[in-house]
Amino acid sequence: MACAAVVLTVTGLLGTATGAAYADDPKPPTKGAPAPADDSDAQRLDDVRKKIDALYRKAEQATEAYNAAKEQVELQQKEIVKLARTIDATQRRRTTLKRQVGALASAQYRGGGLPAEAKLMLAANPEGFLDNALLARKGQLAAKRLISQLTKIQGDLESYSHSATDRWERLEANRKKKENAQRDIKKKIDAAKELESRLAAKEKDRLKKLEDEQAFKQQQKWLDSGILDEISNTASAPGKKAISYATAQIGKDYVWGAEGPDTFDCSGLTLRAWEHGGRTIPRTSQEQWRQLPHVALKDMRPGDLIIYFTDASHVGMYLGNGAIVHAPRPGRQVTITGAGTMPILGVVRPDGDARHDDAAH
């Protein structure tokens, strides 16, 4: 937390009126300030901002879909390898059993294949035959068990074969999802970059200011709700470690699908941060939202993860004082910004417990 406080203070991210944090601390528009010389040009630039935001939002949605498919591909590959080893061991066991059954069949053939009753009637020494009847019975039971085992193993192999086919089909389906998401990400990012490339240098500066002003308004609206008056919890020991890791990544580039150590996407950053805090959490923001314990916004504490947008496609780590650290989008770096700059879906706690599951609803 000391590390986070230093970063917040040095970069001038703490608001003077509310004590809230916001990246670059843009100033709200001054009342009575003169309107831009060309309102139509300002509107055009704002339209460009909205289009670029929408494209990057779609790219982020595709990124989380890519991350989910990639995780499933890796999991299914491991399952297929494990299943292949099981099939190989079962086939070797079946070969051994077949050999044993064959040996029993050969022994029966050499014995004439007569049933036990016929051998009793024809035996020159019936007493001797009866002495061996118990051993013969044990042999029959052993043969039945052997055949039963062979039948079961044959069934297991068929089941494993169907399972392997199913896993391969799911693997291929997820590979296609991953490839489609990858193409979609590239398409959206290229389109956003193309829009930005058409702007002159001055317009790009104005575009950045427009982004900051919009984020400032959203943050201020969130703060005006009085939410910080209710949030006063402190970070847990694992949470402090996670915060320390996350804030140490500030300035590193956002790269979709990246989990560090040099680049990150939004959920890749929270994954590694909480791994540093001693907790294993899901890879994607959607699964973090689905699997981790929920907490009410008023009960939020530093280290908790704030999930954004109705589709849970973005995540940031709460630092306290109304701020989060997150990996925003392509073309940006890991940074600190206001927790209310995006629509909040809810809050999850990686080191929480299941009793909080319904707290946020």
Each residue's pLDDT tens digit, 224-280: 888 787 777 889 999 999 999 999 999 999 999 999 999 999 999 999 999 999 999
Cα-based distances in Å from 330 to 44, 263, 342, 349: 23, 11, 17, 26
Residue whose C-alpha is closest to residue 312's, from 17, 21, 86, 65:
65
Does residue 294 have an active-site annotation? no
342: confidence class by pLDDT, cuts 50, 70, 90: very high
Report the half-sphere exposure of 298 (CA within 13 A, side-chain side). Answer: 6
Q: What is the pLDDT of residue 181?
A: 82
Lay out the sheet containing 344-348: strands in order across. Answer: 294-295, 344-348, 305-308, 314-320, 323-326, 335-338
Which letter, b or e, does each residue of 327-347 get, where b requires 16 or more Cβ atoms within 10 Å of its Cβ?
Answer: bbbbeeebbbbbbbbbebbbb
- Active-site annotation holder among 3, 162, 294, 326: 326
Taking the C-alpha atoms of residue 208 and residue 46, their distance in angstroms, rounded to an integer, is 11
Across the range 195-219, mean pLDDT stands at 84
Given 266, 276, 294, 361, which residue is catalytic? Answer: 266
Whole-number Cα distances in Å, 183 to 82, 230, 267: 31, 44, 20
Residue with the larger pLDDT of the pair 76 and 97: 76
User: Which pLDDT score is estimated for 128?
Assistant: 54
The answer to whether 285 and 313 are in contact (CB under 8 A) is: yes
CA distance 301 to 351: 11
Instruction: Tell me, yes or no, if 3 is annotated catalytic.
Output: no
Q: How confident is the model at residue 208 (pLDDT cuts 50, 70, 90)?
A: confident
What pLDDT shows up at residue 24? 41
Residue 222 has a CB neighbour count (10 Å cut-off) of 21
pLDDT at 4: 42
Catalytic residue among 162, 276, 294, 314: 314
pLDDT band at 345 (very low <50, low <70, confident <90, very high): very high
Q: What is the pLDDT of residues 114-159, one digit of tens each?
A: 455 545 444 555 555 555 555 555 556 666 676 777 777 777 777 7
pLDDT in tens, 278-329: 999 999 999 999 999 999 999 999 999 999 999 999 999 999 989 999 999 9
162 as an active site residue: the answer is no
Render pLDDT for 7-37 as a digit per residue (tens, 0 to 9). 443 333 434 334 444 444 444 444 444 444 4
Q: Is-contact 279 300, C-beta < 8 A? A: no
What pLDDT is attached to residue 106?
Answer: 66
The fraction of the chain above a pLDDT of 70, given in percent, is 73
| 262 φ, ψ (degrees, to nearest 5) | -100, -30
